[in-house]
Structure 1
Amino acid sequence: MKNFYRLVILFLITCNTQAQAIYETIDSYKLDDKRELKIQLPRNYDPEADRTYPLVIVLDGDYLFEPVAGNIDYQAYWEDIPDCIVVGVKQATSRTDDFFYAEETNLPINEGADFYEFMGAELIPFIEENYKASPFRVIVGHDMSANYINYYLFKDEPMFRAYISLSPDLAPQMVERLQQRLSILEQETFYYMATADADLKVLRNSIIECDAKLKSIENGKLHYKFDNFEDANHYSLVGRGIPKALNEIFALYKPINGKEYNEKVLTYEGSPYDYLMKKYEDIEYFYGFEKKLIENDIRAIAAACKKRDDLESLEKLARLVKKEFPKSMLSAYYMGMFHEKEGNLRKALLRYKAGLLLEPSQYIDKEMMLEKMYDIQDAMKD
């Protein structure tokens, strides 16, 4: 088991070194100071391309940036979440001032108010001007910074769509304010919070109280998830909370798995093809960018079409695949599958033969195409 964890850690480190890391310094008028940033760009990031990427802002970037960036790069590698731009704000010498709030109002004042303005007026515009960031933004914090991220929810139009709050050191009145604000949100918002059995007791009690209040909220626009980890403390819960939070935030983006296939695709009121179109439309709506059709989802929808004997959907899927992957064996394979299913074996054979000249995909190669050809030829003899 120890060797397994070592391999996972090694892979995370390898992923992180292969992603593009950049160090920037921003000269802030609001703070009357300079701030150092750590920026991780996605693999194969192309500044000239039209594609944009979700923006993940990490407070306490001195120690929190690497676990967030590593997890994002690892999960994006397996297409479980989208590629993201990750920006860590270094605050080792300024965090007490940056997260300062008034004892009377429990709201940011002085340096805390300056940092609040810095984020919206300088940092985010700087990133959007220089990098391909989408409007979907995530903010991450731990203890003091996890409390601070909540203040961005209180804007009329919050800057962030997702909040990762790891063992927050909640300010007085924050629980009530959060419950009230999250109850009336009109924009789809993701909120993740975590504590642990060995978390700091003074923090844990408030967090448990906060969870009870947030769980009672009835607002379809709020997507709330809470974790109370066992055998973890104030620091180790960070390593467990980050991947769980990312899974929740980008749940819709994930490839269709067995659970989704059985519980949603097969039971969908419309056709399997309609389900696929809605899934990708929802992804674009939620995350602000268009997801490229992936082979895993094509296979799942094709299987559903065959199971439900839905020829119309299978034909639409085949034409979509041909449009999206004209040079891939995928286009020939699924068009051949459609003709085979409709009983036109001659056309199916021609499609499979044509596929031999195309490029193999993740799951489909020449051996599979030849096997389909032989099966069709045998069927034509009968």
Structure 2
Amino acid sequence: MKNLYTLLLIIFSVCITNSQALYETIESKKLDGSRELKIQLPRNYDPESKRSYPLVIVLDGDYLFEPVAGNIDYQAYWEDIPDCIVVGVKQGNTREDDFYYDEDNFLPIAEGANFYEFLASELIPFIENNYSASNYRIIAGHDLGANFINYYLFKDKPIFRAFIALSPDLAPKMADRLKERLALIEQESFYYMATADADIRFLRNSIIECDAKLKLVENEKLQYKFDDFEDANHYSLVGRGIPKALNEIFALYKPINGKEYNEKIIPFEGSPFEYLTKKYEDIEYFYGFEKKLIENDIRAIASASNKKNDLESLENLAKLVKKEYPNSMLSAYYMGMFHEKEGNYKRALLRYKAGLLLEPSQYIDKEIMLDKMYDAQDALKN
């Protein structure tokens, strides 16, 4: 297990070297000093682009930044989750002060209150002023940091939409406060918490008790997920919890897979194209940014349109692909497919021929276009 965990860290470190990692220092009035940051920008990040990215704040960035940033870079590469801006806050010498709370009401005071305000009123504006961060924000913490992130839930309108609490060292009354607050959340929010069988015993016991309470929360705006890992301890659970949390947070964003195709698209009462439109509108509504149409989803909707013999849906899809990918073979391929489906093989042949001059895609290349062209030619002869 130790060797596996080391291997995962090496993989994530390699991922980070392929993305844009920066080290910055932010001056803080709240902290009466400066604080070092680790920042990972998406691959091919373009500051001139209008595109914005979810912002992920990582507490205890000294050691937690690399596992989070590596996971995000790896999964984003395969289009399972969106590209994100990841910011780690270094706290190696200040974490106990940063996470300090009152021993009577168990809320941040003194240095803890200052750090709370630093994140909300200085760090986030600093990132948004200098990088293309969207207003969909995630915060992740481990141990004391995982408890601290909960305080941001107690604002009337939380500044974070997703919370990743890895083996939290919960303050007294926190479980009851969480249960009460999560029941009242009015914006779509996600909360993830994890422990493990070999976690620190007193932490594990309080986390299990907290989970039992949070499972009782009934709020359609809240998505709550909990993991109790086997064969993991207080530290190794981090490497297993982060990808699970990211998968859950961005479940709606994920490419269409076989399960979604069979259980949602095929039984869908509307057309496959209407399903695609709704899926992408929901992504924009929930995450606050547009998702670019991906080839995996185009293939799935085209397949469903053909299976349902829905010519109108296939035509609408072909037009959308042409709009989104005007210089790609994709535009010619799916418009040709539509003309074939309607029986107009002459127009289909023209589309496929024109496609030979365009750029290949992930799945469509010149060989496939030639095969489609020959099929159309054979159909014209018969």
Partner of 1:115: 115
What 5-or-longer segments of structure 1 have no aligned partner?
none
Partner of 1:336: 336
Partner of 1:217: 217
**Contact kept? 2:54, 2:134, Cα under 8 Å:** yes
Question: Equivalents in 2 of 1:4, 1:377: separation in Å?
Answer: 55
Partner of 1:374: 374
Alignment of 1:61-210 (within 5 A): 61-210=61-210
Counterpart amino acid of residue 326 in structure 1: P
Counterpart amino acid of residue 331 in structure 1: S
> Structure 1, residues 312-333: CA drift from partner, whole Å, max 9, x if none?
0000000000111111110010
> Structure 1, residues 90-147: CA drift from partner, whole Å, max 9, x if none?
1111111111111110111111111111111111011111111000000000010000
Partner of 2:29: 29
State the TM-score, normalizing by the size of structure 1. Answer: 0.97
> Structure 1, residues 142-196: CA drift from partner, whole Å, max 9, x if none?
0100000000000011010000000000011000000000001100001000000
Partner of 2:274: 274
State the TM-score, normalizing by the size of structure 2. Answer: 0.97
Counterpart amino acid of residue 60 in structure 2: D
Counterpart amino acid of residue 342 in structure 1: E
**Contact kept? 2:356, 2:369, Cα under 8 Å:** yes
Counterpart amino acid of residue 233 in structure 2: N
Secondary structure of the residue aligned to 1:46 is coil
Shift of 1:5: 8.2
Question: Equivalents in 2 of 1:174, 1:37: separation in Å?
Answer: 28
Alignment of 1:175-324 (within 5 A): 175-324=175-324
> Structure 1, residues 270-318: CA drift from partner, whole Å, max 9, x if none?
1110111111111111111111110000000000000111110000000
Secondary structure of the residue aligned to 2:315 is helix
Question: Equivalents in 2 of 1:171, 1:46: separation in Å?
Answer: 41
Counterpart amino acid of residue 50 in structure 1: K
Give me the identity figure in percent: 77
Would you say 1:50 and 2:62 are equivalent positions? no
Counterpart amino acid of residue 346 in structure 1: K
Shift of 1:4: 9.1
**Contact kept? 2:12, 2:66, Cα under 8 Å:** no
Question: Equivalents in 2 of 1:158, 1:338: separation in Å?
Answer: 47
Secondary structure of the residue aligned to 1:175 is helix
Question: Equivalents in 1 of 2:61, 2:355: separation in Å?
Answer: 49
Q: What is the root-mean-square deviation in Å for CA atoms of aligned residues?
A: 1.5
**Contact kept? 2:165, 2:192, Cα under 8 Å:** yes
Secondary structure of the residue aligned to 1:31 is coil
Counterpart amino acid of residue 309 in structure 1: N
Shift of 1:7: 7.2
Counterpart amino acid of residue 284 in structure 1: E
**Contact kept? 2:38, 2:89, Cα under 8 Å:** yes
Question: Equivalents in 2 of 1:229, 1:46: separation in Å?
Answer: 39
Counterpart amino acid of residue 370 in structure 1: L
Counterpart amino acid of residue 18 in structure 2: Q
Shift of 1:14: 2.1
